[in-house]
Amino acid sequence: MAINRWSREQLIVAFALYCQTSFGKMHKSNPEIVKTAKFLFRS
């Protein structure tokens, strides 16, 4: 099984999005989260 670790840059982008996303909008169907996940090649 391969371990796909997060790079420093990916963590920074994901954390920035986390800080900007309002409570209650943190879900997998949020368009901003979907767009960022695709950009980071993450699910």
CB 39 within 8 A of CB 13: yes
Q: Could you tell me what percent of the chain has a pLDDT over 70?
A: 95
For 3-18, the pLDDT digits (tens) are: 789 999 999 999 999 9
The residues, any chain, with a CB within 8 Å of residue 14's CB and separated by 6 or more, are: 6, 36, 40, 42
CA torsion through residues 22, 31, 26, 1, sign: negative
Q: Is the pLDDT of residue 2 over 80?
A: no
Separation in Å, CA 3 to CA 6, 14, 41, 43: 10, 19, 14, 14
Q: Is the pTM for the entire model greater than 0.85?
A: no
pLDDT at 34: 96
What are the residue boundaries of the structural domains of the chain, listed by start? 8-40
Instruction: Supply the pLDDT for residue 4.
Output: 83
